[in-house]
Amino acid sequence: MTSSTIRRTRGRGRLFGSVLDTVGDTPTIRINRLAPEGVELYVKAEFFNPAASVKDRLALNIIEAAEREGLLQPGQTVVEATSGNTGIGLAMVCAQKGYPLVVTMADSFSIERRKLMRMLGAKVVLTPRAEKGFGMYRKAVELAHANGWFLASQFETTANADIHEATTAQEILGDFEGKQLDYVVTGYGTGGTVTGLGRVLRNARPDTKIILSEPANAQLVGSGIAQERDANGAPAVGHSAFEPHPIQGWTPDFIPAVLQEALDKDYYDELRPVAGSDGIHWARELASKEGILTGVSGGSTFAISQEIAKAAAPGTVILCMLPDTGERYLSTPLFEGIAEEMDAEEVEISKSTPGYQMP
């Protein structure tokens, strides 16, 4: 595009029946300034979903699958344990469909997440951070059983990976139709993304390597220690390899049943740990060098993508999953050191002309 050519848009050619019809079809975007020379690096920007994360997909399918199967009745309360993004997605879906929603969440997760859920009409019940993800999970189960509420069960339900098989994977196939795709890099929270992608790409694109990542200080999969489960596949206890980590939305203190399918069926080719500090660094680099605002989880998958890209042969094509937006992390270390007031350079810019200066 030349400087004399203005960008134009023509609309999507359709009118949407509700906000829920806008879930999915997120764009795949080329990385330019941060890609090593000779390597094509792309990101799938899941923050283009209406509630700004990949979890909008599973939230919508969990509710609609329950409606189809008669498991969720009109006006029935939905309850779920979440670090934030699934809760925000469920709050959006429940607001549009008219279901009350109660979310249980450890008080260690970012304040803006609980505010967003409450803004969307949900009730947020906090659990002690010392009880980790297992504590908020058990609280949701307890509330569901005591009150006859519908438990969304994001960590166990087949509706989770099913929606990634039906949408996310199909979008990747469409975007890379007739084009090389050597690597797809993702982390895991519930495991829905990697499981859904693995089901499709193993058959449709067998040459594409799927790289799975988890926090370096909380390597549950990398530990090789099996998750203890109850008869329904739910975690019976927290995983012994877990430690608190800064990659919110990734790796609760148990291995979800949804992820277990990917482990059992070898849906990934390599497991790579990533330090939370690297995730923060690369999220900041994506923002300042590419204009792409993602969270620590997106920065972490991008950190692994950079490792692969720097060692890759010329012509290699890599796709990196970016699960959510950076705005979800304003009160976290991702924004630590980002000043609210003018710094010395900004003050000097202000003083370079005589008017409208702050006292």
Catalytic residues: 55, 297
Reading the block at residue 181, the tokens are: 């795709």
Which of left, alpha, beta for 108 (phi over 0: left; psi -120 to 50: alpha)? alpha
Euclidean distance between CA atoms 234 and 307, whole angstroms: 34
Strand, coil or helix: 223: helix
Q: How far apart are the first and last CA of the chain?
A: 43
Residue with tokens 């220690």: 225
Cα distances (Å, whole numbers) of residue 209 to 25, 88, 169? 22, 31, 14
Euclidean distance between CA atoms 22 and 117, whole angstroms: 19
Residues with Cβ within 8 Å of residue 67, at least 6 apart in sequence: none
Beta strands (DSSP E) in 226-337 are 270-274, 317-322
191-206 core/surface letters (b: 16 or more CB in 10 A; e: else): bbbbbbbbbbbbeebe
CA-closest candidate to residue 191, choices 250, 149, 246, 238: 250
CB 132 within 8 A of CB 163: no
